Chains A and B, each alone.
Chain A
Amino acid sequence: MTIFHFSRRGSLGWRTAVMTVLLMAAFSPGADAAEATPPQDLAQFCAVPETVLPNGFLKHARDAYRAGKPLRIVAFGTSSSAGTGAASRADAYPARLQADLQERFTLPAEVINKSVGGQSARQMTSRLEDDVVSLEPSLVIWQTGTVDSVGNLQLEDFGRALSQGIEMLEKEGIDVILMNMQYSRRVELLVNYSPYVDMMNAVATQSGAALFDRIEMMRHWASSGRLDFDNMPRAERASRAAKLHECIALQLADMIEKAVRR
């Protein structure tokens, strides 16, 4: 890290140069959006366009619900599901989802968080047996893709790992919601997500797993100025991260409720 040192002055100069070249003066920065205060109503705040709205068929969860069994869900992800960056694990979406589902259903619902940071999809598949199947859930939220795209890991193998995992879970009578990456324009500058996002879409379509398009949702929340983590003052980060997890939990709960009640 030390040899790549930038003086503050140098970096400002670069930025100024870019600004000048692009004649920024003609455009007003999108400050209006960034300063918008969140509306009181959470559902309204977390709303996403129809095209991004998750929708899926969750057969086993629905059967469990109809049979009057408790709804058991495993959140199976990496750092962003473990709650890194949120104030605590209790602030991460799995805990919030559990609270939300308990409010919506009379039956007991629990969400067990089995997330470990830094694992690729392939590494996660070797954890499926112990961390998911043995708990006998009817649904697993499999959040993945980040580690693979950051490490530029083999795309084909990523796809195979996902299909194999989903197939195994399906055999065990467990539904899968695939959740893709977190959105950030700054990260997109350095990581090419699109082949991995496409692969997850394809695997979901081909295997019949449901897809929770987190990256597109977050893109929408960012571009509408509601949750833009790219240029966020340090003081706001914790509260906004909590808000993000609330929104993800809400969208998941909507999706699950719709699927089991249909």
Chain B
Amino acid sequence: MTMPDSSASLPAAASASAPSTKLHAVAPTALPPGVRDLRLDFFRGLALLCIFIDHIPGNRIADYTIRVVGLSDASELFIFISGYAAGLVYMSAVAREGFLFSSLRVWRRVWQLYVAHLFLFVIFTAEVAWTSMKFDNPMYVEEMNIASFLSEPHIAILEALLLKFKPVYMDILPLYIVLLVFFPFALWLIRQSRLLALGLSIALYATARIYHLNLPAYPEDAEWYFNPLAWQLLFVIGAILGASTRTFANSGMDFPVPRNRWLLGAAIAYALFGFGMQFLWEHDLISRVFPHGSEAFIFPTDKTNLSGWRLSNLLALAYITAYFLRADSPMLRWRVFHPLIMCGQHSLNIFCLGVFLSFAGLIVLVEFSDSLAYQLLVNGTGIAIMIGAAALLAWYRAKERMPRKPAEGPAGGANVKSTALGGGSAE
């Protein structure tokens, strides 16, 4: 409901940026265009850690991830931020390098994601083979039917290559891949008219929901856990906002939606409602609070088709966050947040590592014990490995660029920075 309003008033963001220009004037370190919006890295890093924790089944720590905040969870956050970053980066890339070149860059990215997904698929297959070898308790014969694809590997591999076969917890990369494959088209639309892009996206979302359309999956009667036809809406909304940031807001750095107290009030009210509902659901209190049947409108929230409750909850949270947390907020430079930001800056690597680590973590819990001590150990070790890997990647990337700097002199410094941004920030 809020979306048409906010996008219609996108141009108003220019006037809304007046207070922020003032802020920039006060702050000696005004952010020049071409510097990363650390909020994106921060929240993407947060989403990645939450996805790792949420993907360990039976993990007691998972009761305290971003899920508790409301009806939406880390998946929405991840897709929204990815859309926002894609809009932000590729919009300026198109202006700089032309449409064809930018599209090819998007598709090169798609290729990387695709390869990463297949790599994770191989790990999953090994996992299934290992489990079915070790765990042949006849009590679980129906459950171990999960290994049935091993009896027709030629088909399973083909279906995996077609992204139709998506093993457990491997749904989000295929979604991201499909979204990015069509992203150049969306970008072209956004460049023509933001309203048109949003309108078409909403129309596709509505059609998919009304007619129950989803992409085909394997085995028969399975479905995409994240329906791309529905989830594209969140990605496109993110992309439109990201694409508008540089074009409309002269400050270049703020959320391109007007700062309006009423809008803020509505967002906070909705976020509180979402928090309350989620709390009641998680604690099995919902049937006590609501008269019989009335909660049916909300629960279980349809994650596959991105129910409106989830979508609007994420947008409300994003608005509140952007209202209070500015892109140049010194808080983002606090040391405690640095690990999260580093994870967010290497999101593909850290995401894949996270999926692998949740597997490894569960193996430890299965083979040894799933007492609280072990759960804390597994979560802690996993997070430490993810942060450590992100730090190594950051160090490696910086070191790789180092030799150029002295040769190019001080003027070249800015240049290196902007190419670095072009190369890496969508990711």
Spell out A's residues near B (CB within 8 Å): 1, 3-4, 6, 11, 15, 18-19, 21-24, 27, 29-30, 33, 51, 78-80, 84-86, 117-118, 120, 146-147, 150-156, 181-182, 184-195, 198-199, 201-202, 205-206, 208, 219, 223, 229-232, 237, 241, 244
Contacts and interface: CB of A to CB of B under 8 A. Distances in A.
B142 A79 contact: yes
A152 B217 contact: yes
Contacts of B147: 190
Nearest to B129: A4
Contacts of B378: 22
B143 A146 contact: yes
B21 interface: no
Main secondary structure of the interface of B (DSSP, over half): helix
B141 A30 contact: no
Given A18-B364, A118-B142, A6 B129 contact: yes
9 contacts: A118-B142, A120-B221, A152-B217, A152-B225, A155-B304, A186-B140, A189-B131, A191-B143, A198-B300
Contact of A151 (B140, B221, B305): B221
B369 A30 contact: yes
Contact of B57 (A6, A189, A202): A189
Given A190-B168, A199-B300, A22 B141 contact: no
Nearest to A208: B292
Contacts of A230: 135, 366
Most buried by B among A84, A202, A231: A202
B411 interface: no
Interface stretch (B25-33, B318-326, B332-340, B355-363): B355-363
Nearest to B305: A156
B153 interface: yes
B278 to A, nearest CB: 12
Given A118-B142, A187-B144, A85 B366 contact: no
B192 interface: no
Given A150-B146, A185-B362, A223-B370, A192 B169 contact: yes
B127 A189 contact: yes
B367 interface: yes
Given A118-B142, A156-B304, A230-B135, A151 B130 contact: no
B374 interface: yes
Contacts of A147: 142, 145
B318 to A, nearest CB: 24
B303 A185 contact: no
B58 interface: yes
From A84, A152, A219, A231, residue with most partner B Cβ within 10 Å = A152
B139 A86 contact: yes
B362 A189 contact: yes
A56 B29 CA distance: 64
A206 B146 contact: no
Given A190-B127, A191-B168, A206-B296, A85 B140 contact: yes
Contacts of B142: 78-80, 84, 117-118, 146-147, 150
Contacts of A80: 139, 142
B139 A85 contact: yes
Contact of B143 (A120, A182, A195, A206): A182
B225 A4 contact: no
B151 A1 contact: yes
A198 B278 CA distance: 13
A181 B223 CA distance: 20
A205 B295 contact: yes
Contact of B140 (A21, A156, A187, A198): A187
Given A118-B142, A150-B142, A187-B140, A193 B381 contact: no
Among A3, A11, A146, A185, chain B packs the most CB atoms within 10 A around the CB of: A185
Contacts of A208: 292
A198 B133 CA distance: 30
A156 B168 contact: no
Nearest to A85: B139
B125 A27 contact: no
A219 B365 CA distance: 13
Contacts of B360: 18, 21
Given A154-B221, A185-B370, A190 B295 contact: no
Contacts of A21: 360, 381, 385
Nearest to B128: A190
Interface string B144-156: 1111001101000
B139 A185 contact: no
A156 B305 CA distance: 10
Contact of B145 (A118, A193, A198, A202): A118
